């Protein structure tokens, strides 16, 4: 078979329909023996002539079009004679769509048992019955012909992508000799055959491999030897180097890749076909890919969640089952949990491929790519659990009086340089915002309460800072909106008070460290001082400047998230006087104020100002926080019935050395003491 002989490529007619502008991405169709395939396409892995935990019917509802089967496993069990008997894998497993078979090369590479690799092929012992087998280019093709897949792969020698040069070169040359032998072994079979480009992470070897294989009459090309030890950037670079040199008229298949972001990056670089065990493997551990990030279903945050996995997914799992049920199945290690999450993950992968194809055909793939490369690396945005990943790019890490604070262990936060104070110093800022302000105020249930109270729910966000609290409120709203549609959520008006916007400006430059700012809202607040949800149901505005100047001119709030710097740094915002002004302004309403401080002096100042004061939930190492109510029945009407401070607190306060903020004059302290001693909160307890 000479390098110059090019028989017509009729085994796998391949038509490129469109190439995306500004990208190597392309949309194409491929005619197989079992129907047309639209690319880019993801092929689930059916190792043992089954995709683990799925039926052929469930695969079809998930959107599966092509299956991959493993020659190595099927050679050992059930054996080629069974496929001969059934006339191939399609009838055997009741699948009427296209099948791609691999060559067995990758399994030989990762074989746990002893193997001998030589010019002839690889000799190894069966893990099923201990018999000795020779996997050669010829025996691989013979087995693949018996299995009867639509697309076969030539046997290659797969080595670690980080192998030394001489070893990589020798493996590549052996692969080339095996490629020629595979084509001869294919003979007159109508099955298509792909050659596999090798060369580890050496550019010149990859170029050499492409040049050699393109001289052979293959029906398409695979990029082998990646996803086995190299970095992501090496993988992307090698992929691009190979695709730009492969003939544009033939399909390209990146073997064993990968995660959703890998698929996006590789389609962008001109790959048409993918396979990976990942979506089903992680399903067994309860990991689900969703349009709002990756979910770890074992986490107890889902124990009572009656929302579906992904509101944007139409798969059977998302039509019928709650997160709470899936959480339970995964915890109980039930097979159904694996099946349902696997089905959803496959639907997610297939939808991602379809979306990419649609955007290529509409020629707006590039902007889709830019959006998705941020979206696809998120983990559950509603319930963040891990410290955000550190960004590798060098961006300024300080602005004005603020710098990014990255402790050796844990989450990124912000530090005010002049005071040394760290915002949210004790636990992850997103988690604290959720727990202390959003969950404790029962914001979600207020948004969907029926009948909806008249007027907007007004939230004051005192101390916008890096917008952790306001974004936590927005996430809560968006989740209610996704769940209940446009009719249910009550209109929300958030007013943030801040004199210094540097903290927010700084974190928006570091979305890798601060995932909460990966949203249009914070940028709009910075630029225009306002943002509105497309539904008009969530309005957010900024009052820039001193809170004390603008508080009386701001609509009376239902909820106050009181989160300025501490008394030590910002004493003016913790005085009896400022709390009294807030109290007077809020009196027309039943207002609730939430704050992280639990200090005796702050609680005394709130009481002296007229508030009724209760214990708030602890967060991180803080055992307790503080809630203040304008009305006596505020705590009683609260869904969580927080405990008002009682006589034991009063007794401790009387003994305390810091009964009031130290800035208070002795006369004012005397007046404050009288107000506390006669406060109805304590009188009614006696």
Nearest residue (CB) to Zn ion, 345 versus 625: 345
Nearest residue (CB) to Zn ion, 158 versus 283: 283
Nearest residue (CB) to Zn ion, 89 versus 313: 313
Nearest residue (CB) to Zn ion, 20 versus 313: 313
CA angle 209, 214, 217 (to 5 degrees): 130
Q: Please count the residues of the chain.
A: 686
Least separation in angstroms between CB 340 and Zn ion? 9
Alpha carbon distance 590, 456 (integer Å): 14
Q: For 443, list phi and psi in degrees, rounded to 5.
A: -60, -45
Alpha carbon distance 224, 160 (integer Å): 11
Alpha carbon distance 36, 34 (integer Å): 7
Least separation in angstroms between CB 298 and Zn ion? 18
Please, are residues 436 and 616 in contact by the beta-carbon 8 Å criterion? Answer: yes
What is residue 635's three-state secondary structure? helix
Please identify which of the residues 102, 262, 272, 558 carries the catalytic annotation.
102
150 annotated active-site: no
Instruction: Pull the structure tokens for residue 380.
Output: 């559950």
Q: Which of residues 652-681 bind Zn ion (CB under 5 A)?
A: none
> Which residue, 254, 238, 252, is CA-closest to 205?
238
Only one residue has tokens 């844990």, namely: 410
DSSP lists the bridge partners of residue 122 as: 117, 135
Please, are residues 448 and 488 in contact by the beta-carbon 8 Å criterion? Answer: yes
Least separation in angstroms between CB 339 and Zn ion? 12
Please, are residues 77 and 45 in contact by the beta-carbon 8 Å criterion? Answer: no
> Which residue, 98, 6, 86, is CA-closest to 43?
98
Least separation in angstroms between CB 329 and Zn ion? 15
Alpha carbon distance 461, 535 (integer Å): 21
Q: Which stretch in 86-94, 275-283, 316-324, 471-479 sits in contact with Zn ion by CB under 5 A?
A: 316-324
Nearest residue (CB) to Zn ion, 315 versus 517: 315
102 annotated active-site: yes
Q: Is 350 in the site for Zn ion (CB under 5 A)?
A: no
Q: Which stretch in 20-28, 313-321, 438-446, 538-546 sits in contact with Zn ion by CB under 5 A?
A: 313-321
Nearest residue (CB) to Zn ion, 313 versus 412: 313
Give Cα separations from 643 to 520, 562, 626, 631, 633 (angstroms).
39, 19, 10, 14, 12
Least separation in angstroms between CB 489 and Zn ion? 23
Q: Which stretch in 345-353, 478-486, 490-498, 602-610 sits in contact with Zn ion by CB under 5 A?
A: 345-353
Q: Which stretch in 97-105, 133-141, 347-355, 483-491 sits in contact with Zn ion by CB under 5 A?
A: 347-355
Please identify which of the residues 150, 275, 430, 563 carries the catalytic annotation.
275
Identify the residue among 25, 68, 122, 315 touching Zn ion (CB under 5 A). 315
Q: Is 318 in the site for Zn ion (CB under 5 A)?
A: yes
Bond preceding residue 258 cis, omega within 30 of 0: yes
Q: Is 283 in the site for Zn ion (CB under 5 A)?
A: no
Least separation in angstroms between CB 260 and Zn ion? 14
Nearest residue (CB) to Zn ion, 318 versus 559: 318
Q: Is 339 in the site for Zn ion (CB under 5 A)?
A: no
> Which residue, 265, 275, 331, is CA-closest to 99?
275
Q: Which stretch in 1-9, 90-98, 311-319, 628-636 sits in contact with Zn ion by CB under 5 A?
A: 311-319
Least separation in angstroms between CB 319 and Zn ion? 8
Identify the residue among 99, 226, 313, 436 touching Zn ion (CB under 5 A). 313
For β-strands 625-629 and 592-595, DSSP reports them as antiparallel
> Which residue, 377, 355, 365, is CA-closest to 261?
377
Least separation in angstroms between CB 216 and Zn ion? 42
Least separation in angstroms between CB 313 and Zn ion? 3
Q: Is 344 in the site for Zn ion (CB under 5 A)?
A: yes
Least separation in angstroms between CB 540 and Zn ion? 31
> Is residue 281 exposed (0-12), middle (13-18) or buried (19+ Cβ within 10 Å)?
middle
> CB under 8 Å, gap of 24 or more: what pairs does 472-475 form?
472/430, 472/433, 472/434, 472/437, 472/438, 472/516, 473/437, 473/438, 473/443, 473/561, 474/519, 474/521, 474/533, 474/538, 474/540, 475/381, 475/382, 475/434, 475/438, 475/516
Q: Which stretch in 192-200, 250-258, 341-349, 436-444 sits in contact with Zn ion by CB under 5 A?
A: 341-349
Q: For 505, list phi and psi in degrees, rounded to 5.
A: -60, -40
Please, are residues 611 and 579 in contact by the beta-carbon 8 Å criterion? Answer: yes
Alpha carbon distance 308, 311 (integer Å): 6
Nearest residue (CB) to Zn ion, 62 versus 436: 62
Nearest residue (CB) to Zn ion, 207 versus 355: 355
- Cα-to-chain-centroid distance, residue 601: 42
Q: Which stretch in 159-167, 275-283, 307-315, 438-446 sits in contact with Zn ion by CB under 5 A?
A: 307-315
Per CB under 5 A, residues contacting Zn ion are 313, 315, 317-318, 344, 347
What amino acid positions are annotated as catalytic residues?
102, 275
């Amino acid at each position: 078979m000479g390098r110059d002989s090019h028989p017509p490529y009729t085994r796998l007619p391949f038509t490129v329909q469109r190439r995306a502008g500004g990208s190597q991405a392309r949309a194409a169709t491929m005619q197989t023996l079992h129907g047309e395939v639209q690319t880019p396409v993801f092929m689930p892995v059916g190792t043992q002539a089954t995709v683990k935990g799925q039926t052929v019917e469930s695969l079809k509802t998930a959107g599966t079009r092509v299956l991959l089967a493993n020659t190595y496993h099927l050679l050992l069990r059930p054996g080629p004679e069974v496929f001969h008997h059934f006339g191939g894998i399609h009838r055997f497993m009741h699948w009427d769509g296209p099948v791609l078979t691999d060559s067995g090369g990758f399994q030989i590479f990762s074989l746990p048992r002893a193997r001998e690799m030589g010019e002839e092929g690889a000799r190894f012992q069966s893990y099923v019955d201990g018999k000795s087998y020779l996997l050669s280019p010829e025996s691989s093709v013979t087995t693949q012909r018996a299995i009867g897949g639509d697309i076969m792969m030539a046997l290659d020698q797969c080595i670690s992508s980080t192998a030394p040069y001489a070893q990589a070169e020798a493996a590549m040359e052996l692969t080339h000799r095996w490629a020629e032998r595979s084509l001869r072994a294919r003979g007159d079979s109508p099955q298509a055959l792909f050659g596999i480009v090798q060369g580890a992470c050496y550019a010149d070897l990859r170029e050499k491999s492409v040049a050699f294989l393109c001289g052979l009459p293959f029906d398409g090309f695979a990029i082998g030897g990646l996803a086995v030890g190299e970095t992501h950037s090496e993988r992307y670079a090698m992929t691009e180097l190979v695709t730009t040199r492969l003939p544009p008229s033939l399909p390209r298949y990146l073997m064993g890749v990968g995660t959703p972001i890998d698929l996006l990056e590789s389609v962008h670089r001109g790959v048409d076909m993918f396979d990976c065990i990942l979506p089903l493997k992680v399903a067994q551990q309860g990991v689900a890919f969703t349009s709002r990030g990756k979910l770890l279903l074992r986490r107890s945050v889902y124990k009572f969640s009656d929302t579906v996995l992904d509101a944007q997914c139409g798969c059977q799992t998302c039509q019928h089952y709650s997160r709470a049920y899936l959480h339970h199945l995964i915890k109980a290690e039930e097979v159904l949990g694996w099946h349902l999450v696997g089905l959803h993950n496959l639907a997610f992968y297939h939808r991602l491929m379809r979306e990419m194809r649609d955007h290529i055909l509409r020629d707006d793939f590039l902007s889709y790519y830019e959006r998705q490369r941020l979206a696809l690396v998120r983990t559950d945005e509603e319930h963040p659990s891990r410290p955000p990943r550190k960004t590798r790019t060098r961006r300024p890490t300080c602005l004005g009086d603020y710098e990014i604070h990255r402790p050796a262990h844990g989450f990124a936060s912000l530090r005010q340089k002049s005071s040394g104070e760290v915002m949210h110093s004790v636990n992850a800022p997103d988690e604290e915002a959720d727990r202390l302000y959003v969950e404790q105020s029962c914001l979600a249930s207020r948004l969907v309460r029926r009948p909806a109270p008249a007027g907007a729910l007004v939230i004051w966000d005192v101390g916008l800072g890096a917008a952790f609290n306001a974004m936590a409120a927005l996430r809560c709203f968006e989740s209610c909106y996704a769940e209940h549609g446009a009719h249910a959520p009550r209109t929300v008006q958030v007013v943030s008070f801040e004199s210094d916007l540097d903290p927010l400006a700084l974190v928006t430059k570091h979305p890798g460290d601060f995932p909460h700012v990966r949203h249009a809202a914070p940028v709009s607040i910075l630029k225009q001082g306002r943002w509105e949800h497309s539904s008009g149901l969530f309005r957010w505005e900024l009052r820039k400047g001193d809170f004390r100047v603008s508080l009386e001119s701001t609509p009376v709030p239902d909820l106050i998230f009181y989160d300025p710097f501490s008394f030590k740094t910002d004493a003016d915002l913790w005085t009896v006087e400022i709390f009294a002004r807030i109290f007077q302004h809020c009196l027309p309403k039943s207002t609730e104020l939430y704050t992280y401080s639990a200090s005796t002096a702050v609680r005394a100042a709130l009481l002296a100002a007229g508030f009724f004061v209760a214990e708030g939930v602890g967060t991180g190492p803080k055992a307790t926080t503080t809630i203040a109510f304008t009305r006596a029945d505020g705590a009683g009407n609260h869904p969580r019935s927080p405990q008002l401070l009682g006589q034991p607190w009063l007794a401790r306060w009387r003994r305390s050395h810091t009964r009031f903020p130290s800035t208070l004059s002795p006369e004012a302290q005397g007046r404050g003491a009288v107000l506390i001693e006669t406060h109805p909160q304590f009188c009614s307890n006696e």
